[in-house]
Amino acid sequence: MGILKTLWHRLGSPRWFFHMMAPWQTWLGGLALLLLLTGSFWGLVYAPQDYQQSHSFRIIYVHVPTVIVAQSVYMALGVSGFVLLVWRMKLADVALKAMVPFGMAMTALGLFTGAVWGRPTWGTWWEWTDARLISTLILLFLYFGLYALRESIASAEAAGRACAVLAIVGLVNIPIIKYSVEWWTTLHQGETLSMTGIKMPAEMYIPLLINILGMYCLFGYVVIARMRNEILRRERETNWVAAWLRGDGRTGMESMSEH
Amino acid sequence: MSVFTGQLGRELRLAARSRSDVLNPLVFLLLAITLFALALDGKPEVLREHAAGILWVLVLLTNMLALDGMFRRDFDDGSLEQLLLAVDAVPFAMLAKLLVQWLVTGLIIVLLSPLLGMVLNLPAAVLGTLALVLLAGTPAVSFIGAIGAALTTGARRGGALLALLVLPLLIPVLIFGVSAINRALADEPPRAELYWLGALSVTSLMLSPFATQAGLKIALEQ
């Protein structure tokens, strides 16, 4: 508990985060590259083809990881928003700002790859009777809302807290939206168009797992990189940023431990 | 309680004195339905088939117009700041504001609904259910929408931003509302949908005063 408590207090300092996360950024970036390359090569080249969908199923190696991460990002947004509103932690606002564009991009990519997969498989780019397509589309609009809200409020601090409220309201609403969309599609749906129904052998799902893990590492890498940039931008007036920019960033940390 | 009743009285008086703010969105609703009737060539069967969808989408859009100015006047003349500073039971004051917001849009739409239904050529037997569905669903629209209105009060642009924030959150209301009317048209009682709409309204009534307060506080800090 003691360690966690210390960590929690340290997270109050953007400067500490900036220095601590430098190696994490490098490692997560390398790991993401390694995992995504391995998983994609394995999935796209070596995995056996599906007996019904032949090669077109392979897009799941891109599609499924992006959609899963897109949803996780929104959860993380809700949690960051809660931390920002309750403890007023500056870093939570930095995280909120850093995650929104990434989540938005992943959701858009998920929708795009889903449509590309749907064309040969269902015979249509878009299917209004599929609950997951519509939920993902709504998720994209929720991301648009967060982005637009931050853009339209002049004060950075107020913008962050407004986004936090919206992220929490959105997170509370997501299960209701999902349920209502599923209800709606069961009223309209003629046939079940399911991707999860496919029973996958190990040589098909292991590369998928690798890619999901790789995508989470990419999420970590991108968010940490963006957060560190944002910290530099926000703290550009401080001495430690000036020192770090001069190239003696290490001394920045040492002077910190003297306090 | 005096906070609640005091605020309620003030809001009702304000609504009564700014009639155009109340009436303009409703006139928009009537006008937009007329546009739909004209665009669909006034064919009775086509109108009836799409009545539920047209009506609910327009109800949502009308609410977006009505919500846009919900806090702006109080924000501009400073009374909002006074309210948040002076009253220690702010959520009760917010509750009064939310209720009045619904009274001057949602309830009036409910009262107008037989007329709207007739314009869209719904059979008379469904009009009662239509009013009931709107009665169950429109509070959720006002209460969830108020959160968006609070968050955009201090923003540089209102209108489109408010709709962008709020409409995705109102999709469940749209789905259950449309489904309820269509079920009534098929001679089935839309019980499940009504329960859902009622649950959404009550839950949002419970949570929205706090979220609205948080949103307004942020708007005032700028």
> B168: which DSSP letter?
G
B171, B42 Cβ separation under 8 angstroms: no
Question: What's the rounded mean pLDDT across residues A20-32?
Answer: 93
> What residues in A contact B154, CB-CB < 8 Å?
153, 158, 162
- Cβ atoms within 10 Å of A163's Cβ, excluding its own: 27
Residue A244 to residue A233: CA distance in whole angstroms: 13
CA B141 to chain CA centroid, Å, is: 4
List the one residue out of A154, A160, A200, A171 whose CA is nearest residue A49.
A200
pLDDT exceeds 60 at position A6: yes
Token pair listed for A108: 């858009």
Residue A175 in contact with partner chain B when CB distance is under 8 A:
no
> What residues in A contact B207, CB-CB < 8 Å?
172
The CA–CA distances, whole Å, from A236 to A239, A247, A255 equal 8, 15, 18
Binary contact (B211, A181; C-beta < 8 A): no
Nearest chain B CA: its distance from A162 CA (Å): 6
pLDDT of amino acid A188: 60
**Residue B67: Cβ-neighbour burial (10 angstroms; 0-12, 13-18, 19+):** buried
pLDDT exceeds 50 at position A191: no
Binary contact (A177, B167; C-beta < 8 A): no
Q: How many helices (H) and strands (E) does chain B have?
A: 11, 0
Q: What is the chain A residue with the closest CA to B174?
A: A180
Radius of gyration of chain B measured on its C-alpha atoms: 18
The structure tokens 């648009």 sit at: A144
Give the 3-state secondary structure of residue A54: strand
Q: Which domains does chain A have, with CATH numbers?
A: 22-257 (1.20.120)
Nearest chain B CA: its distance from A141 CA (Å): 7
Residue A105 in contact with partner chain B when CB distance is under 8 A:
no
pLDDT of amino acid A210: 94
Nearest chain B CA: its distance from A177 CA (Å): 5
Q: How many helices (H) and strands (E) does chain A have?
A: 9, 0
Residue B68 to residue B151: CA distance in whole angstroms: 11
> What residues in A contact B218, CB-CB < 8 Å?
158, 161-162, 165
Residue A148 in contact with partner chain B when CB distance is under 8 A:
yes
Residue B1 to residue A246: CA distance in whole angstroms: 61
Residues near A63 by beta carbon (within 8 Å), at least 6 away in sequence: A110, A113, A114, A117
> A129: which DSSP letter?
T
> Which residue of A154, A166, A180 is in closest CB contact with B156?
A154
> What residues in A contact B141, CB-CB < 8 Å?
none
pLDDT above 90: percentage of residues in chain A: 47
* pLDDT per residue as tens, chain B (222 positions): 688 888 899 989 988 888 888 899 999 999 999 999 899 888 888 999 999 999 999 999 999 999 988 898 888 888 888 888 877 788 899 999 999 999 999 999 999 999 999 999 999 999 999 999 999 999 999 999 999 999 998 887 777 899 999 999 999 999 999 999 999 999 989 999 999 999 999 999 999 999 999 999 998 887
Nearest chain B CA: its distance from A27 CA (Å): 37
List the one residue out of A170, A158, A83 whose CA is nearest residue B216.
A158
**Interface predicted TM-score of the whole assembly (ipTM), two decimals:** 0.89
Residue A181 in contact with partner chain B when CB distance is under 8 A:
yes
Token pair listed for B94: 């917010």
pLDDT of amino acid A192: 43
> Which residue of A152, A162, A184 is in closest CB contact with B175?
A184
Its sign, for the CA torsion A61, A103, A174, B164, is negative
The structure tokens 């940490």 sit at: A224
List the one residue out of B103, B106, B162 whose CA is nearest residue B137.
B106
What is the band of A190 on the pLDDT scale with cuts at 50, 70, 90? very low
Among A84, A173, A182, A186, the residue to mutate for chain B (most B Cβ within 10 A): A173
What is the band of A9 on the pLDDT scale with cuts at 50, 70, 90? confident
Binary contact (B218, A158; C-beta < 8 A): yes
pLDDT exceeds 80 at position A47: no
Q: What is the chain A residue with the closest CA to B196?
A: A180
> What residues in A contact B158, CB-CB < 8 Å?
none
pLDDT of amino acid B78: 87
Nearest chain B CA: its distance from A190 CA (Å): 17
pLDDT of amino acid B155: 82
Among A169, A183, A185, the residue to mutate for chain B (most B Cβ within 10 A): A169
List the one residue out of A142, A21, A141, A136 whose CA is nearest residue A81.
A142
> What residues in A contact B172, CB-CB < 8 Å?
173, 176-177, 179-180
CA-based angle B44:B50:B52, to the nearest 5?
Answer: 115
Q: Which amino acid is at A133?
A: L
Give the 3-state secondary structure of residue A50: strand
- List phi, psi (to 5°) of B41: 60, 15
